[in-house]
Amino acid sequence: MSAPGALLEPGPTRLLGVLNTTPDSFSDGGRFLAPGDALARGLALRAAGADVVDVGGESTRPGAGRVEAAEELRRVLPVVRALVAAGVAVSVDTTRAEVARAAVEAGAVLVNDVSGGLADPDMAATVAGLDCAYVLSHWRGPSDVMTSLATYGDVVAEVGAELAARLEAVTAAGVAAERVVLDPGLGFAKDGAHDWALLAALDELAALGRPLLVGASRKRFLGALLAGPDGAVPPPAERDAATAAVTALAAARGVWGVRVHEVAASAAAVRVATAWRAAGRIGA
Ligand code: PMM
């Protein structure tokens, strides 16, 4: 079986460790810009239990602008190559077909597209021709405008319907449905209430028939949840315990994967959920 196929086999919840080679990501921006630092971080993520290291070269934080494709490639490709050479399973966090192709040709096994194929009209056809898994996230528009797109009547029904429509579109373009993982896109055109509603409805989203990935790590809705009595919101790096709690609950729900910045605590959370599920009746 190909590496992407094995990645999607049934098993415990997969851990995608976040490696942003960006100057401006909301949580780890600027820390892993130099390829040597990025490689060291990727190896540390694997040592902490990451099944896959997710390399991104363009920030998607609310309000962020685009970077040029050439700059994204410059940030991402050396890191992908170095991690692949070190035997690490790599995914590429990109909305650009050109970057996806170059990364998979360099050995990445998964394309993680937060735009679900909407940001680049060539993405679906490109992925169709590559040997990789594809994470298709719910998305309504680019980071500089997405906050204004967070309007829903029934967020679970609408996100589910929009994901189903995108799944149909990418399969029509030639991507085998068996290679696709769906992601509700927490924080992307969603406010905190939307994020919580989607987490509480993971069983409904699973009914779309594909494995699910949850990206809750250090996000705004966790910051808001953890705000002190004075309203002070803890910085992203102080949201890891809450992130691990989301991992435990999502893994207990049987999600395929979680995407996290701090892997060790989520790895422990996956083990707890796996043992609990194995003992029976969790979530009944
Ligand atoms: N969130 C971010 C980036 N990439 N990918 C997927 N599949 N799902 C997500 O929720 C997601 C993502 C934003 O977080 P970051 O800036 O900390 O990487």
| 136 Cβ inside 6 Å of ligand 1 | no
Q: Give the pLDDT confidence of 102-132 residue by residue, as tens digits.
A: 999 999 999 999 999 999 999 999 999 999 9
CA–centroid distance, residue 215 to ligand 1 (Å)? 6
Q: Tell me, using a 6 A CB cutoff, whether residue 186 lines ligand 1.
A: yes
The finding on whether 95 has its CB within 6 A of some atom of ligand 1 is: no
Sequence-distant (6+) residues with CB within 8 A of 148 are none
Ligand 1 neighbour 271 (Cβ under 6 A): no
Range in 64-68, 87-91, 243-247, 274-278 the model is least confident about = 64-68
Distance CA 264, CA 47 (A): 9
What is the distance in A from the centroid of ligand 1 to the CA of 280?
32
Instruction: Report yes or no: 178 and 128 within 8 Å, Cβ to Cβ.
Output: no
Q: Which of 46, 81, 166, 259 is catalytic?
A: 259
Rounded to the nearest whole angstrom, what is the distance from the C-alpha of residue 56 to the centroid of ligand 1?
Answer: 9
**Cα-to-centroid distance, 138 and ligand 1 (Å):** 11
Ligand 1 atom with the shortest distance to the CA of 135: 7
Concerning whether 190 is annotated as a catalytic residue, the answer is: no
Structure tokens that stand for 44 in this block: 């540390």
Question: Is the pLDDT score of 24 beyond 80?
Answer: no
Which residue has the least CA distance to atom 10 on ligand 1? Answer: 215
89 contacts 53 by C-beta, under 8 angstroms = yes
Residue 284 confidence (pLDDT): 44
Query: Is the CB of 215 within 6 Å of ligand 1?
Result: yes
Measure 281 CA to ligand 1 centroid, in angstroms: 31
Measured in angstroms, how far is the CA atom of residue 147 from the centroid of ligand 1?
15
17 CB near ligand 1 (under 6 Å): no
Compute CA distances 264 → 41, 82, 91, 176, 234, whole Å: 13, 22, 19, 33, 20
Asked whether residue 220 carries a pLDDT value surpassing 50, the answer given is: yes
pLDDT at 227 over 90: yes
The residue whose CA is least distant from atom 8 of ligand 1 is 215
pTM of the model: 0.95
The helix/strand/coil state of 128 is helix
Please report which confidence band the pLDDT of residue 281 belongs to, taking 50, 70 and 90 as the band edges. low
In the prediction, which pLDDT does 230 show?
A: 95
User: Looking at per-residue confidence, does 186 or 65 come out higher?
Assistant: 186
Q: Name residue 6's beta-bridge partners.
A: none
Mutate which of 137, 163, 243 for ligand 1? The one with the most ligand atoms within 8 Å of its CB, which is 137
Nearest CA, atom 9, ligand 1: 215
Ligand 1: which atom is nearest the Cα of residue 187? Answer: 10
Secondary structure of 223-255 in the HEC alphabet?
Answer: HHHCCCCCCCCCCHHHCHHHHHHHHHHHHHCCC
